[in-house]
């Protein structure tokens, strides 16, 4: 506490604190984070995001087991549907099974459930300290989230999908362009997911209890993203509505790229749609953050 007080005291007197002195409060090594390129700082923050979850391998193994269990359960449910019909929407049996295992693999990578860190810090009053730091608040959390997503993609996403691929007849991309396109789509999906999560977390600036807004956001994003079932299973009108919302850019879009349902100009358009929603939600988040900072009331002391 003494070190934190020393770091905050100059700010309380309107003085500028050197970046090197504030970085330890972020858990970042100043000698490694501050260099000739400012991007080095965000690289170190991304490493912190990776390391935060890598520190708990037991939770990772438990998560792999859970995703694999539900992967088998949901796969057999869908296979029962295909016993009575050949296709549902644009999905055949292989597409549906592949979708299940991709969705399970993307569940923690995209992290559309349970991320309330900014809201908690607003409610506790810790956001006041965050806003004093010489790091852009949105970029600070985005860098950490990208590091977290990389860890979860590798250790929570790949193992369940490999298990599913061994047991079931999954569909792999048959076009060399599909693999890098899927990687780009996945990054855009993570950024879009983060931007939306960051946005609804900011409701805590105005609400004494952010949980109501968080639950509504979780329900909407889960239903309309394609996390529960492929959007192709929806009635035509509801599928159109789902694709008009940002949530499809989180889950359904990268799955469509992986399955090869989007090629050529359609693929370019799908990636452009994801980029649009990522940029739009990030910009909206910055605007709402600015409004929240002007209205800042520290809840909790």
Which residue, 246, 253, 300, 250, is CA-closest to 277?
246
Q: How confident is the model at residue 22 (pLDDT cuts 50, 70, 90)?
A: very low
Q: Is the pLDDT of residue 36 over 70?
A: no
Q: How confident is the model at residue 37 (pLDDT cuts 50, 70, 90)?
A: low
What does each C-alpha distance from 122 to 15, 282, 296 come to in angstroms? 24, 19, 9
- Tens of pLDDT along 125-171? 888 888 888 889 999 999 999 999 999 999 999 999 999 999 999 99
Q: Is the pLDDT of residue 23 over 70?
A: no
Q: Is the pLDDT of residue 35 over 90?
A: no
φ, ψ (nearest 5 deg) of residue 207? -110, 140
Percent of the chain with pLDDT strictly greater than 70: 86
Diameter over CA atoms, the chain: 73
pLDDT of residue 28: 45
Q: How far is residue 189's CA from residue 143's CA, in Å, rounded to a whole number? A: 15
Q: How confident is the model at residue 235 (pLDDT cuts 50, 70, 90)?
A: very high
CB 270 within 8 A of CB 185: yes
Q: How far is residue 264's CA from residue 181's CA, in Å, rounded to a whole number? A: 11
Higher local confidence (pLDDT), 296 or 58: 58
CA 205, distance to chain mean position in Å, is 22
Q: Is the pLDDT of residue 18 over 80?
A: no
Q: How far is residue 108's CA from residue 247's CA, in Å, rounded to a whole number? A: 15
- Tens of pLDDT along 236-264? 999 999 999 999 999 999 999 999 998 89
Residues 6 or more apart whose Cβ sits within 8 Å of residue 219: none
Q: Is the pLDDT of residue 40 over 90?
A: no
Q: How far is residue 272's CA from residue 185's CA, in Å, rounded to a whole number? A: 10
Which residue, 65, 75, 77, is CA-closest to 102?
75
CB 75 within 8 A of CB 97: yes
φ, ψ (nearest 5 deg) of residue 290? -60, -40
End-to-end CA distance of the chain: 17
pLDDT of residue 212: 87
**The two structure tokens encoding residue 199:** 């946005």
Q: Is the pLDDT of residue 12 over 70?
A: no
pLDDT of residue 123: 86
pLDDT of residue 134: 84
Q: Is the pLDDT of residue 10 over 60?
A: no
pLDDT of residue 220: 93
What does each C-alpha distance from 10 to 14, 39, 127, 137 come to in angstroms? 7, 26, 18, 20
Write the DSSP assignment of 207-274 as a string of letters: -S-THHHHHHHHHHHHHHHTSSS-GGGS-HHHHHHHHTSGGGGTTHHHHHHHHT-S-THHHHHHHHHH
Q: How far is residue 138's CA from residue 285's CA, in Å, rounded to a whole number? A: 8
- Tens of pLDDT along 273-300? 999 999 999 999 999 998 888 876 544 4
DSSP state of 84: T
């Amino acid at each position: 506490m003494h070190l934190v007080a020393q770091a905050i005291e100059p700010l309380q007197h309107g003085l500028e604190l050197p970046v090197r002195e504030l970085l330890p409060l972020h858990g970042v090594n100043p000698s490694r984070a501050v260099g000739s390129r400012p991007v080095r700082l965000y690289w170190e923050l991304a490493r912190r995001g990776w390391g935060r979850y890598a520190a708990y391998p037991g939770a990772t193994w438990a998560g792999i087991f859970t995703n694999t269990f539900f992967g088998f359960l949901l796969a057999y449910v869908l296979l029962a549907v295909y016993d009575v019909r050949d296709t549902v929407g644009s999905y055949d049996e292989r597409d549906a099974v592949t979708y299940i295992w991709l969705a399970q693999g993307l569940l923690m990578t995209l992290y559309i459930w349970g991320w309330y860190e900014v809201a908690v810090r607003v409610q506790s009053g810790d956001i006041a300290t965050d806003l004093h730091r010489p790091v852009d608040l949105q970029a600070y959390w985005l860098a950490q989230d990208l590091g977290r997503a990389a860890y979860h993609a590798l250790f929570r996403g790949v193992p369940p999908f490999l298990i599913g691929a061994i047991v079931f007849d999954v569909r792999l991309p048959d076009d060399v362009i599909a693999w890098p396109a899927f990687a780009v789509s996945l990054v855009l999906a993570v950024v879009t997911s983060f931007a939306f999560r960051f946005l609804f977390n900011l409701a805590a600036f105005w609400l004494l209890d952010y949980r109501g807004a968080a639950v509504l956001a979780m329900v909407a994003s889960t239903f309309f993203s394609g996390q529960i079932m492929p959007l192709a299973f929806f009635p035509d009108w509801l599928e159109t509505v789902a694709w008009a919302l940002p949530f499809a850019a989180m889950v359904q879009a990268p799955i469509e790229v992986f399955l090869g349902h989007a090629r050529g100009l359609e693929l370019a358009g799908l990636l452009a749609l994801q980029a649009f929603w990522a940029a739009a939600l990030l910009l909206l988040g910055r605007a709402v953050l600015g409004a929240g900072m002007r209205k800042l009331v520290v809840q909790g002391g």
